[in-house]
Copies of this chain bind each other. A is one copy, B any other.
Amino acid sequence: MYQNGTGNRRLRELPETEALRLLAGVPFGRIVFTRHALPAIRPVNHVVVGGQIVIRSSPGTILSAHVAPAEAVVAYEADDLDGYERLGWSVIITGVARLVTDPAEAAHLRTMLTPWVAGEMEQVIRIQPEIVTGFALVPAAATA
């Protein structure tokens, strides 16, 4: 019950493989990056291919241009949290986002990843996870 009374949950740390599996099982997450020297975040849909997170974006938002070096350190977060029951999980990845520059590969990945809004998101970006952290909120008494 959401009574704003007790913080009777604890965090169960997720193994990396479980964290990536959970992230791959949901259709969207949030890309965290630096824009004009300020912290920025955007919800995007994703697929996980070969252990990498693949997203689409508009040129200039996350990666500056089509020219090399088009890469940036980013974080990526996905979760399934119930704020009322205070249960669920969150996975946070830190890694390097790189533009997919091979036209055939980019075209193939685009078929797997339809933006929610038409006419946007020309860039295909993949994120190589370097740090993967995840937790599940579980009742404080639980041992699972």
Contacts and interface: CB of A to CB of B under 8 A. Distances in A.
Interface of A: 2, 4-11, 26-28, 30, 32-34, 38-43, 45, 73-75, 77, 79, 81, 83-84, 86, 90, 92, 94, 112-120, 137, 140
B74 A118 contact: no
Residue of A26, A32, A119 with most chain B CB atoms under a 10 A cut-off: A32
Contacts of A119: 7
A98 B111 CA distance: 44
A28 B118 contact: no
B45 A75 contact: no
Query: How many copies altogether?
Result: 2
A112 B112 CA distance: 44
A39 B38 CA distance: 10
Nearest to A33: B39
Q: Is the interface of A mostly helix, strand, loop or mixed?
A: strand
What are the 4 tightest A-B residue pairs by CB atom distance, in nearest-first order? A27-B83, A7-B118, A28-B83, A32-B39
B30 A41 contact: yes
A42 to B, nearest CB: 8
A92 B32 CA distance: 12
16 contacts: A2-B27, A4-B113, A5-B114, A9-B118, A10-B118, A11-B117, A30-B30, A30-B77, A32-B41, A34-B39, A38-B94, A41-B41, A43-B77, A86-B116, A116-B137, A117-B137
